[in-house]
Amino acid sequence: MEIPTVPENFYRVSVKALVLDDSHRFLLVQEDNGWWELPGGGLDFGERPRQGIDREIWEEMKLKTTFVADKPAYFFTVKNHKEVFIANVLYETKLAHLDFVPSPECVAIRFFTARQVLAAEKMYPNVIAFASLYERQPLR
């Protein structure tokens, strides 16, 4: 089977859950490699963004969403750790609870401020890009 050539303007779309606490810190998940990531992941072909967030949250943490916004709160592009450009689309999301079931994609969860992310190690490039954006334009 011949692999199709990907055009130069191709971006992998990643839908992310923007889960905020009462102090407006945002939730990150720690993968089993020690790196921190926004909850969510790649949007499957034909899938609606809200469906993708529900699916990803369940796959990563076995948690149920109680709310996913109709429209994205943030959109940005970045080159990921594999040197692939990705489009990140963040939707404000609420979870039923935070009692997650660990998986390779989520061994820990924690709320961060943008400044904490920017000062930390083992943050994926999209997390750093988001923290920089969030610091300048917080969601209130």
Q: Write the pLDDT tens digit of every residue in 1-45.
A: 676 666 666 788 999 999 999 999 999 999 999 999 999 999 999
DSSP character at residue 36 = E
Candidates 28, 1, 31; CA nearest to 16 is 28
| pTM of this structure | 0.91
DSSP character at residue 57 = H
In terms of phi and psi (left: phi > 0; alpha: psi -120 to 50; beta: otherwise), the region of 124 is beta
How much is the pLDDT for 18? Answer: 98
How much is the pLDDT for 2? Answer: 72
Mean pLDDT of 103-121: 97
* Sequence-separated (6 or more) residues with CB below 8 Å from residue 13: 42, 43, 86, 87, 89
Compute the distance between CA of residue 56 and CA of residue 13 in angstroms, rounded to an integer: 13
Compute the distance between CA of residue 120 and CA of residue 59 in angstroms, rounded to an integer: 26
**Is 111 a residue whose pLDDT tops 70?**
yes
Domain locations in the chain as residue ranges: 12-136
- pLDDT digits 0-9 by tens, 61-110: 999 999 999 999 999 999 988 888 899 999 999 999 999 999 999 999 99
Compute the distance between CA of residue 5 and CA of residue 25 in angstroms, rounded to an integer: 40
What fold does the segment set 12-136 form as a domain? Nucleoside Triphosphate Pyrophosphohydrolase (3.90.79)
